[in-house]
Structure formats: structure tokens, C-alpha cells
Amino acid sequence: MSDLKRVERIESTPFQTQPAQNVQGWERIGSLAGGAVMVGKGLRRGGMFGLIQVAIGGVALARGITGHSSAKSFLEKSRQDMDNVREKIERTGKELSRLKANAEAATVTGNDSLKSPKTGV
């Protein structure tokens, strides 16, 4: 009798999966060029501000090399969420307008019930 538990293999972890590229074309080339310039200027400058320039340039270089920007994907997700909220608000507004029109029609005809309207009025 074995009390050993079976260990299941994990196929991939968040760090192993490659994020989708969201930086292409001129934007990617600009990140590479700008990052290289920033790293060079930071190395020549030295000191604390030079170190900051090197770090920012390194981030820009990484963005250009990988073709992925976490900040850009965050902004795109936020924009998508805002579009979804806008759609829901528009749908709710249309539904409210329809309900208002039904209520006004019921009031004009003297109908007290929207479910079973009177006939012949």
C-alpha cells in the first residue's frame, strides 16, 4: 500500500508563456533606437540620473526587442473595458426609452396595465 500522491505535470506557467506582440513597425523601431540612445546617454552621464536613463533606455530596448509592452496592453484592456461599459449604457438607455414610450402610450389610452391593454379604446 503506497501513500504517495500522484504529481501532475504543469504544462506552462505565466512566466513560460510568451505574451502576444502588441508593438509593431515604426513603433518598435522607435523603441529600439530611443532605447539605445537613452542607454548610451545614461552611460556617458553617470551618477544617479545616468542610472535612471540607463534603466528607462533598457525598458525601451526590451520593448523593441520583444515587441510587447505591458503598459500598452494594460491601456488596451482599459479601453476595451470602457467600450463594454459604453455599450451597456447605450443598451440601457434604449431600453429605458422603450419603457418610457410604452408607459406614455398606456397613459394616453387610459390603460392602467401594460401587460393586458384594453381593447377598443
pLDDT in tens, 29-67: 999 999 999 999 999 998 999 999 999 999 999 999 988
| Count of the separate structural domains present in the chain | 2
Check: CB of residue 64 under 8 Å from CB of residue 35: yes
Q: Are residues 88 and 105 in the same domain?
A: yes
The span from the CA of 114 to the CA of 121, in Å, is 14
Domain presence at residue 77: yes
In a domain, 14, yes or no: no
pLDDT in the model for residue 103: 83
Residue span of the structural domain in which 103 resides: 70-109
Element (H, E) at 72: helix 70-108
The Cα 100–Cα 70 span in angstroms is 45
